[in-house]
Structure 1
Amino acid sequence: MGLEILYPKPGSAQPDSFVVDIIAVHGLNGDATNTWKHPKNNHFWLQDSLPLDVKGARILSYGYNADVAFGNTTVNVWDHAKSLLGSLIDERETDDVSKRPIIFIAHSLGGIIVKQALVWAHREPQYQAIKDHTLGIVFFGTPHRGSDKANYGRILANVATGVMHKPKSRLIDALQSNSETLMKLTSEFKFEAPNMEIITFYETRPMGIFSRLIVEKQSALLELSHEDTQPVDANHRDMCKFDTRNDETYKKLVKRVNRMLKGKDKSLPASDCSTPKLRNKHFELPFDVSPYFTGGSDVCGELREGCLPLEDPPAQNMQQRFVLYGLGGSGKTQMALKFANDYRERFWGVFFIDTSSVDIARQAFSKMARVCKVGEGMEDFRRCLTNSLEPWLLILDNADDPSLNISQFFPVGNRGTIIVTSRNPDCRCHATVGSRELREMESDEAITLLLRSGDLLSENEDLRSIALPIVQTLGYLALAVSHAGASIRQRICSLEDYLDNYARRRKKLLSSRPVQADSDYEYTVYTTWEISVDSIKELSNNATDSTAANALEFLTLFGFCHFDDITEDMFRSAWNEFGRTEGYTWWASNLPGMVRDRRLLEWDSIRFNESMRLLSSYSLIYVSGPNNRISLHPLVHSWIRDSLNEEVHFRWWNITVSTLALAADVSSPLAQMQLSVHLRHCIDIGQVDDLFVEDDVLLDRVQILSLIISVYEFCPGKDTLTLSERALEYSRKFLGDECYSTCLLSLRLSQIFLYLREYQKASDLLQSTLDVSIRILGPATDLTLGIMRELAWAYTELGRKQEALELAEKKLAICEKSLEGRDVHTLLALCDVAMVYSELGRYREAVDLLENAIAKRAEMANEDITTMLQLELLLAITYDRSGRHEAALEMFQNNLKEQFILLGDDHPYTLHTMAYIGVQYGTIGQPEEGIPLMIKALEVGQGRMPDDWLETQKEALKWLQYKSAQLQSESANTSTAVPEMLVEPQELPHREGEEISSRKGWRLWPKTRRRIGESSS
């Protein structure tokens, strides 16, 4: 503990002198050495590499008990910060050492100790020398504030749960309760930060199996104008561990530390460094950077690092090329102009070429040749730059056409700097010193831009509060925010009523260019995307294949889905289920061309991805993640629909509803939940009444309605019951009661009644429907068997358990006779009987039946793995209910491991099992083991699981926390140790309340309804 000198090692030869002290401070669950050691080879870079790469550096590491520091009150943080200061004063007390520069390197919560120490140094005279001689700080994943996803207290708790195996609840509580004070520390520190260099490294890889960042980028940044921010391709724990000197993050760190030292030398009075000479002769930009230019400090920093010329241009060993790419209107050109304006004196010439076409580019090159008096054509000017001994900057703007090879405009050789701006991500291949995608602005920067361009006070907090929902609505897009500011500045609307105007006149506001708008914005918000689509249409007209035509169809369809989390699987599923449209001509014709195309034996993934690549090349869509998830900017999403006339708008609304309904796959709960988001969004865009048109395609509409309801069931809302009741009424009115479609919709409605615990309503509807289904379809059909299963469930919930058993046994007999016991319905029937046995307390018989079902499943080669997982899960539940809690826990754990591998950590089955195990730990008296698991389940389940499931698990977490506090109280032999905030729940989750059981809410057996309604009658 305390300050330890890592270099030079005691007893080794001492260097003649030191020029800097580098102090490393670890975070939670770390120490003075292991925090910085790579786990594979134990490379301790602070000791083994840094002295070699930062000449004259003395390396020290500060160790402390982080659990104690952050586990009680903020007084402990202050104490450790003062201890650090005291140790430094003692170590640097001689005159020559006390004036030596200091650089801190801090990981995670260690950055809080450093911030507190420097704030104290500012206040206390005895520590003045520390403050005065601190050159800068390198932060690795230090959480400075909250983010859009979580408040500061939650983020601090995330650090503890992420880096520690079993963090004590006391530590979690302390971090959350002290978060407000620690947040104020960040504000205080910002007053000190302008006097020192700030380097911030932030993680980009999630931690562990739960796939989330411990400290989000937004939380890791101090958002200072001079802050140098750098992403790290590692998780929170490993971001400061380097296995060699060649590690990219390590090399960036070394460069910046040496740059700090060089900057310090230049600031000394004795420095003989001269100011770079002013050399600019040609400055050929078509317009100035916007006077309202805001933000982008991190991008500017990357441009500065990669694009500024060397002091000795002939020594440059490669041409410096940087690519800015992204959606039209995201500020690429403005960023390039800003850099050119700021550093024009570092270049002999600054030149701007519009490369939107070869002809336009050639004309611009010819003009530059005449300006520089080197000839008349493009080759003359390129040759001039190739041979120039002076540094030059060439901006190649609007390199958007995917068929245009931008490299034809590069001057030959290794001299000069080129900045390319493009909507096409593929242009990154030409970068030699870096590339950067521009998308949405940061929230604070967008607000500042709106207020500045609206000629309003950007620092006024009241105005900033009003501006926030405006920039959120505009998707933080630079061009849209700038145009909104211009509209406010010109009194077209006020800041206060802009959103009201936008809601009524969105298309007009975004399709118009305000009078006296900034000259650099040539296009309106919508025009900039229309240009891209016109290019794709031209490709479609001239192409021999259907790539461009498919791209335009899918882009239009995307405009009616939700703008985020669109997947190829949705359309693959629709293609696979095309057989559902047999006999439904209108439905089959209202689908995208690729879904209707049956020429191949399987879905054409290559053709789909080629279409997506074309859209992505214009930055009209974003494709990201291992599953190639597709998203659109919210304004692009709105523009797609706004560009359609009323007739075409209605046709594509129908196509989207028809396609999404066809994609329904009840065997995949996660896919159904994602699909429900898109279906709900699409239906909200149109009118619900349009689903119930009285025309000559009633059968088509009823089939589509049935599938929509099946999707809604997996994430039910208030609309689900209303839609189901209306659909059944619609079918009865036009098709009658004695009809397959009406029976199917009756089943759908009864399932929703069951979900809502309206058991009597479900029972009445199912009883009448069962009679009709047996009469018109027969007993051994999907629909009839499904009705029998749901009716048995309703009987069980109504306490009519003997009737439930008789019905379940009758269904099992039908399956074993008619289906020869080899169908999934047989497995379901065995489970139904087993669950009723369990309700009757006949656990041994229930276990025997479930083991029989598992054996039958093993003989079925064509059933997916989730069936087996769910059988095992039901067997574990039965163990639990029979009192065999240890056996249940073991089976749950094994089941969870298989689910992690086969389904992933965010699958609904996995999350359900995770929560169940958490409760099991509480049941067997180990609530401390269950709390972290339940927290993880809730965090990952947010946005993935139904609201009532989340609420149930929150109650379970409270119960676990209460049980934990109760056990701690008993072990301390006190009666008052249980925190007052933890009140004993009135009923225990899962045991008495059955809140987490398989019979509640979230259905463990989605395959109950698999293929029901797909066969014709």
Structure 2
Amino acid sequence: MVAVNRNGFTLLGKEVARSKPPRWNIIFIHGLRGHPQNTWGRGSDESPDAEREPTPKPTSRLKTLFKRDKSQLRSDRSSSGPSSPQPRPFWPDEFIPHDIPEAIVWTYGYNSEVISGLFTPNNANSVFQHGRDLAGRFEREIKNEHPVIFVAHSLGGIILKEAIRKSQVCRSRTKLIIFLGTPHRGSRAASWGVTAAKLARLAFSPNITLVESLDVDSLALDTIHEEFINIVHDFQLQIHSFQEGRPMSTIPGHIEKIVDDFSSRLGLPQAFERVETLDADHKQMVKCTGREDDRYRTIRSVIQHFIHRPPVEASSAARITNMTTSLSLEAGAPRLDTTETDRVFFCIPFMLNSRFVGRDNILSKISTTLFTNNGYNRLALVGLGGIGKSQIAIQFAFWVEQNKPKVSVFWLSALSKASFEQSCREIVTQCDLRQSSATIDNDATILVQQYLTSKASGKWVLILDNVDDAQILGRPIHSFLPKSRGGLMLFTTRSQQIASDLATSEVIRIPEMSPAEAKGYLENSLSQKDLIKDEAATEALLRTLTHLPLAITQAAAFINSNSVSIARYLDLINQADGNMVELLSSEFQDETRYPESANAVVASWLVSFNRISETDTVATRFLSFLAWIEPKGIPQSIFPEESEIELCRAIGTLLGYGFLSQRKENGIYDMHSLVHLVTQTWNSNHGENSWTLRETMSQIIMVFPSIKWENREVWRQYLPHSLRALQNAATLDDEGTRLGHWIGKSLREDRRDQEAIEVLERVLQFRNEALAEDHPDRLASQHSLASAYQDNGQVKEAISLLEKVVFIESGLLAEDHPSRLSSQHALASAYQDNGQVKEAISLLEKVVFIESGLLAEDHPSRLSSQHALALAYNDDGQVKEAISLLEKVVFIKSDLLAEDHPSRLSSQHALALAYDDDGQVKKAISLLEKVVFIKSDLLAEDHPSRLASQHALAVAYKGNGQIKEAISLLEKAVSIRSDLAEDHPSRLSSQHALAVAYQDNGQVKEAISLLEKVVLIESNLAEDNPSRLSSQHALASAYDDDGQIKKAIKLQEQVVSIRQRTLAEDHPKRLASEENLKYFHQAYRQ
């Protein structure tokens, strides 16, 4: 047995008589806490002296570290492949020199006993230093000039990669590397730190404290990996990666692979890397029991196959023997024959995506377009980043392989110039296109173009993926495209313009996945399939992620690695926009995407944003603007002003990248909701937040129309965007309050009362702090908020604000100033709603008198005040005066306003109420049916104005004896108004009216139940409030019908007493109450 050096090189097989002259070197490198001999067979891995029984020492720490009980030993053996009672030969010395006599065999050792500093660059014991040591010793001690094959176990592979990175000599002589369980990269389930810790526990035991404080420089390790990948391509190295077939224990009770399958391979195309599994765990994969051991036979056959393969030059020469024609695309370019050949290649960098679902229609359209005789040989897939374009292309590539066996498939990545050139080098290598007159670095692109243009290439499909920059090669991509009758090209791009340039009309825009496809894709991506059973959470998550494949992949990666439920992930993503951005920004491993590509949704789209910012400044401005408004229903008229051509071009850019989509309605766009969220992040990263938000508000104010009914379609379109911009402002400034004031007025006009209050309160808060008490803007805001309060039934709050405004304006403005009159009108209206009818009439008569001398007969303000005065007259029992005034107003408005104008409908509604109170029920019904009909086409079912007219019509029906119709309408109104606050006047009014209709229909119990509830709630109103008295009057009547005479008399006496104090002797309501009370007394006496 040869004596093996613990450090440095040891020559093996010295005693073997060679049957062939040596022409190769094979060098074995062990891993962490391994040994240049024992790792590969004799003894245990941990110590060169392990074959001897150690001398027992009670205080020995080694005994503590390495002692195992029998059950643990049995467990290890049961999970580790062939067990150890059989001899374990030192096969690199005992077998390899005999079986591969043309090889000089070496084993290399280094100090792997110390863990501290192993994974940090500036440490004498680090893998980095070990790699430099290996490079130096190799250059000095391996003095023959034969090429080299390395066999490296575990961390020995990292040391080898560092040596190759540091040594030109090592790089140039290395031809094949066999990696056995080498951790090349952090994985989706285990970071570098986790993988390193598992290796350390395996070598040093799980209890050692050094494992817990292991310092791992992941960036430095990643750098080794990335540079090594480039060296593999540049020097055409061949890699064979063996993975662990069995798990083992590093922590008691926890069985796992030490280096998982993702980490133990480089992820290179098959032309460079072959991947196999050995049926053993991390330690046992380098052991064997004899020549017939499967592990030894497998590793030996890989070496023999490589050594004995035909030289590349010879095979290449044989294939081009019959070539008779050549062409040159550029001066000095290498020449290739154009004779047709039967060679078929499949050159793509990805495996088939097992998670892929659906997209059948798109795949069918691609195959039909390219493989039917319609003359089309180019097709482009265009769509949003992450929509699945590349995945569809991969699926199509494998479809071609299976269904078109005589058609080659080639794949080029256009992510960058470097990736494009790298793809060309891979094709050159796999197709053996390299010739002595060409250097692969400089001419790979030309070689591929030339080859695909020649007849020698036969029939092929070329997939150019991620063509998002038409100048990716430093010249137009068109200049590369080969011209061949047998060639078909499929492009994927985010840019509609590039798609159209490359494929003219043959462009397929990739849509979102269907709900079923998205659900299937999520299920395929989850490690715990049963999570999908939570259907509600699954559907909600997929809706939130807009069925975007990349977002679904990212969500599944988080769920898998963190063992959370779909509902928990949904909760995290919905807690705040910031959470969603953070989760969508997290990078993750995805073998179906390029290692250098941005896998996170946010990073993927930021690439597109940056591309737009480089090529289209107007589109960039539009992105900043759109970040602050609502993403859906964006009218073109709200965009910042540009020339028609610039506007068209910029919107076209955003449409082309899939960030905007156009609705069927002309000039209305939607922005993808996740893109909208990411755009805000992009704005933030560009430091443009405050400026862009202020500019957005200024832009909306500039285009916002006046709050007129004729403009309602426009301001309704603008409202969501205005609200979003205002909500984005943490604090308001002058610009924000101007916008807020307009928004509040619009919301009031649209009867979105609560929203109006929220906005107007915020505006008033700023103006109260910033402006003087008598500033017009502050007073205007108080007026607007008061009106919103009144609309929402908060009458007392409205009166409080308006009395203050009227008081200030009376000392500030002339008696006939429009603002002063408007505030007095508003206060009078609030008084009326509060039952202070006399005060309302007094104020309104004054306003009407002043306006009659100031304004034209058809002026809207004058008509509005007359309308309000008529309502007050009606409430005061002056029904004839009310009808007279309202008929005049309705007549003027019928000539002045459209049939569906709210002001005209409102006056008709009021006139119908007056007719009803005057006993002219038929007239009231006729007018109200017309109003209700128009409003049913014009307003939403729950619009307050529509409900008010239906309520009034129901009351009129009841007065006309149409009780069933009345109940039907009122039940619907009560149901809709149940969303209002319990004490909202409109809700109480409908409940009151329904109760009275129930009573008339003989449903007395239902009437009493409803009225008692109304009376209880209205007991918070003033004692003389008309609504409160009216409900008490109705309840007393219901008690009477139910035979509860004493209750009826007691309640009616309260009503009569108050109405006698507050109403004129001839007021209809006072008279009705007195008449009822008299009737109750008579009934009681009987």
Task: Give TM-score, length-normalised by structure 1.
Answer: 0.52
Which residue number in structure 2 is paired with residue 616 of structure 1? Answer: 655
Which residue number in structure 2 is paired with residue 630 of structure 1? Answer: 669
Do 2:754 and 2:792's aligned partners in 1 also have CA atoms closer than 8 Å? no
Distance 1:954 1:369 in 2: 79
Distance 1:960 1:406 in 2: 76
Distance 1:801 1:958 in 2: 23
For residue 438 of structure 1, give the secondary structure of its aligned residue in structure 2.
Answer: coil
Matched, 1:986 2:1010: yes
Distance 2:970 2:669 in 1: 31
For residue 688 of structure 2, give the secondary structure of its aligned residue in structure 1.
Answer: helix
Which residue number in structure 1 is paired with residue 625 of structure 2? Answer: 557
* CA shift for structure 1 position 848: 4.2
Which residue number in structure 2 is paired with residue 830 of structure 1? Answer: 866
Summarize the Cα distance change of 1:917–1:820 in structure 2 as closer, same or farther, 3 Å threshold.
closer
For residue 632 of structure 2, give the secondary structure of its aligned residue in structure 1.
Answer: coil
Do 1:759 and 1:794's aligned partners in 2 also have CA atoms closer than 8 Å? yes
Per-residue deviation, residues 914-952 of structure 1 (Å, max 9, x unmatched): 96799589757889999999999999x99xx99779x99
Distance 1:398 1:566 in 2: 29
Which residue number in structure 2 is paired with residue 533 of structure 1? Answer: 609
Out of 643, 646, 657, which is 2:682 matched to?
643
Distance 2:352 2:992 in 1: 59
Per-residue deviation, residues 544-583 of structure 1 (Å, max 9, x unmatched): xxxx42x323322322223323334556xxxxxxxxxxxx
Out of 707, 721, 727, which is 2:742 matched to?
707
Distance 1:605 1:904 in 2: 35
Summarize the Cα distance change of 1:364–1:930 in structure 2 as closer, same or farther, 3 Å threshold.
farther
Distance 2:850 2:819 in 1: 13
Per-residue deviation, residues 644-695 of structure 1 (Å, max 9, x unmatched): 34853233344444555663743356766665544554454453xx12x7xx
* CA shift for structure 1 position 825: 1.0
Which residue number in structure 1 is paired with residue 558 of structure 2? Answer: 487
Q: Which amino acid aligns with 2:864?
A: L
Matched, 1:285 2:320: no
Q: Which amino acid aligns with 1:986?
A: L
* CA shift for structure 1 position 730: 4.5
Out of 652, 660, 678, which is 2:692 matched to?
652
Which residue number in structure 2 is paired with residue 774 of structure 1? Answer: 810
* CA shift for structure 1 position 857: 4.1
Per-residue deviation, residues 582-622 of structure 1 (Å, max 9, x unmatched): xxxxxxxxxxx63xx9xxxxxx7775454333221211122
Do 1:666 and 1:711's aligned partners in 2 also have CA atoms closer than 8 Å? yes
Summarize the Cα distance change of 1:360–1:845 in structure 2 as closer, same or farther, 3 Å threshold.
farther
For residue 631 of structure 1, give the secondary structure of its aligned residue in structure 2.
Answer: strand
Summarize the Cα distance change of 1:771–1:302 in structure 2 as closer, same or farther, 3 Å threshold.
same
Per-residue deviation, residues 28-87 of structure 1 (Å, max 9, x unmatched): xxxxxxxxxxxxxxxxxxxxxxxxxxxxxxxxxxxxxxxxxxxxxxxxxxxxxxxxxxxx
* CA shift for structure 1 position 770: 1.2
Distance 1:628 1:614 in 2: 15
Which residue number in structure 1 is paired with residue 796 of structure 2? Answer: 760
Instruction: Kindly indicate whether structure 1 or structure 2 has the higher relative contact order, using CA contacts under 8 Å at least 6 residues apart.
Output: 1
For residue 683 of structure 2, give the secondary structure of its aligned residue in structure 1.
Answer: coil
Per-residue deviation, residues 735-758 of structure 1 (Å, max 9, x unmatched): 332221221122123123213323
Comparing 379-388 with 814-823, greater Cα deviation is found at: 379-388
5 Å matches for 1:469-868?
469-491=540-562, 498=569, 502=573, 503=576, 506-515=580-589, 518-520=592-594, 522-523=597-598, 524-540=600-616, 548-549=617-618, 551-570=619-638, 594=641, 608-645=647-684, 648-660=688-700, 663=704, 665-667=706-708, 675=718, 677-687=720-730, 690-691=731-732, 702-711=737-746, 713=748, 714=750, 721=757, 724-725=760-761, 727-728=763-764, 730-843=766-879, 845-857=881-893, 867-868=903-904
For residue 986 of structure 1, give the secondary structure of its aligned residue in structure 2.
Answer: helix
Which residue number in structure 2 is paired with residue 449 of structure 1? Answer: 521
Do 2:551 and 2:584's aligned partners in 1 also have CA atoms closer than 8 Å? yes
Do 2:465 and 2:493's aligned partners in 1 also have CA atoms closer than 8 Å? yes
Distance 1:966 1:660 in 2: 53
Do 1:918 and 1:931's aligned partners in 2 also have CA atoms closer than 8 Å? no
Summarize the Cα distance change of 1:964–1:805 in structure 2 as closer, same or farther, 3 Å threshold.
closer
For residue 356 of structure 2, give the secondary structure of its aligned residue in structure 1.
Answer: coil
For residue 634 of structure 2, give the secondary structure of its aligned residue in structure 1.
Answer: coil
* CA shift for structure 1 position 307: 2.8
Which residue number in structure 1 is paired with residue 438 of structure 2? Answer: none
* CA shift for structure 1 position 790: 1.6
* CA shift for structure 1 position 394: 5.3
Distance 1:413 1:933 in 2: 75
Summarize the Cα distance change of 1:725–1:346 in structure 2 as closer, same or farther, 3 Å threshold.
closer
Which residue number in structure 1 is paired with residue 1037 of structure 2? Answer: none
Which residue number in structure 2 is paired with residue 438 of structure 1? Answer: 511
Per-residue deviation, residues 428-455 of structure 1 (Å, max 9, x unmatched): 896878945413x444544553454342
Distance 2:452 2:799 in 1: 82
For residue 563 of structure 1, give the secondary structure of its aligned residue in structure 2.
Answer: coil
* CA shift for structure 1 position 635: 1.9
Q: Which amino acid aligns with 1:806?
A: S
Do 1:792 and 1:804's aligned partners in 2 also have CA atoms closer than 8 Å? yes
5 Å matches for 1:911-926?
none
Q: Percent identity?
A: 21
Distance 1:356 1:481 in 2: 22
Q: Which amino acid aligns with 2:608?
A: S
Query: RMSD value over aligned CA atoms?
Result: 5.9
Per-residue deviation, residues 865-884 of structure 1 (Å, max 9, x unmatched): 55545555555565566565
Matched, 1:340 2:340: no
Distance 1:866 1:508 in 2: 48
5 Å matches for 1:405-444?
421-424=492-495, 435-439=508-512, 441-443=513-515
Q: Which amino acid aligns with 1:565?
A: G
Per-residue deviation, residues 106-132 of structure 1 (Å, max 9, x unmatched): xxxxxxxxxxxxxxxxxxxxxxxxxxx
Distance 1:280 1:952 in 2: 85
Which residue number in structure 1 is paired with residue 361 of structure 2? Answer: 301
For residue 529 of structure 2, give the secondary structure of its aligned residue in structure 1.
Answer: coil
Summarize the Cα distance change of 1:486–1:358 in structure 2 as closer, same or farther, 3 Å threshold.
closer
5 Å matches for 1:899-918?
none
Summarize the Cα distance change of 1:455–1:936 in structure 2 as closer, same or farther, 3 Å threshold.
farther
Per-residue deviation, residues 387-425 of structure 1 (Å, max 9, x unmatched): 98x7x6554544557999999999999998765544456
Do 1:303 and 1:339's aligned partners in 2 also have CA atoms closer than 8 Å? yes
Per-residue deviation, residues 776-815 of structure 1 (Å, max 9, x unmatched): 2334444323312221211111222233223223222222
Task: Give TM-score, length-normalised by structure 2.
Answer: 0.49
* CA shift for structure 1 position 479: 0.8
Question: What is the aligned residue count?
Answer: 649
Comparing 825-834 with 444-453, greater Cα deviation is found at: 444-453
For residue 327 of structure 1, give the secondary structure of its aligned residue in structure 2.
Answer: coil
Summarize the Cα distance change of 1:349–1:808 in structure 2 as closer, same or farther, 3 Å threshold.
farther
Per-residue deviation, residues 492-544 of structure 1 (Å, max 9, x unmatched): 9776754576556544443342246543582231232222222322234xxxx
Distance 2:360 2:751 in 1: 44
Q: Which amino acid aligns with 2:584?
A: L
Do 2:660 and 2:672's aligned partners in 1 also have CA atoms closer than 8 Å? yes
Q: Which runs of 5+ in 1 are unaligned?
A: 1-278, 541-547, 572-592, 598-603, 694-698, 1001-1017
For residue 631 of structure 2, give the secondary structure of its aligned residue in structure 1.
Answer: coil
